[in-house]
Amino acid sequence: MISETQSDTTFQDRIKLPITFDYSKLQAEYKALNLAGFTYYNVIPLRSPAHLVDTSLPFPPPADDYADGSWTDWLDTEELKMSPYLNEVVDYFKANTKVTLVRVLRLAPKSTVDEHRDLTLGLEVEKSVVRLTVPIFSNDEIQFFLNQTEVPLQLGECWYMRLTDPHKVVNNSEEERVNLTIDMIPNEWLKGLIKSGESFE
């Protein structure tokens, strides 16, 4: 689906990339992190601004524009370092473009992320990053809506979604939803990978 405000773009609002990852390995490494319980929404950083990972480093200077991640250096966290397969997934993208923020996002059972927009997460936004999503734990009662229609995310798949458009998540199940998200600088390699993916009207 192409939203009315973005109808001139060459990219659809949801594209399944032609790569998949072994979700059983992702699940095993997620469980090995032995994370604490949470009540609604929980974020586990795997790659973050350098000064947050190594607190001996100085804070970066103020920047005019924070959208593309160039305002800071980025470092892998201990959680990523102890997870070989997660490292392999992230390294696949690092070998081809600059990877900035990497996180595991957890949504509790019977919870909803209200509709919102992430204004710097679209290929059409100048000097921005692109966020790719890989589902780790999900089921048929967990739904991701983009522009009011459901995106058919499946475990281990890698998706580009234009998150500058309205989107929300509904978890009607008794299990938590877990996604891996990887932010990166869009270059010709990444644009080509996205263009070679499968679009969903």
- pLDDT for the residue 201: 63
Residue in this structure with the two tokens 């060459």, named with its chain if needed: 10
Domain of residue 61: give its range: 4-199
How does pLDDT run along the chain (201 residues), one tens digit per residue?
333 334 345 689 999 999 999 999 999 999 999 999 899 999 999 999 999 999 999 999 998 888 888 899 999 999 999 999 999 999 999 999 999 999 999 999 999 999 999 988 989 888 889 999 999 999 999 999 999 999 999 999 999 999 999 999 999 999 999 999 999 999 999 999 999 998 776
**pLDDT tens-digit readout, 140-156:** 999 999 999 999 999 99
Q: In the numeric block, which tokens belong to residue 187?
A: 């270059």
Q: Residue 81 sits in a domain of what CATH number?
A: 2.60.120.330
Give the separation between CA 138 and CA 106, rounded to whole angstroms: 10
Left, alpha or beta for 148 (phi > 0: left; psi -120 to 50: alpha)? left
Cα–Cα dist 183/32, whole Å: 23
Q: What is the domain count for the chain?
A: 1
Alpha carbon 156 to chain centroid, angstroms: 13
Helix H or strand E segment including 94: helix 84-94
Predicted local confidence at residue 8, as pLDDT? 40
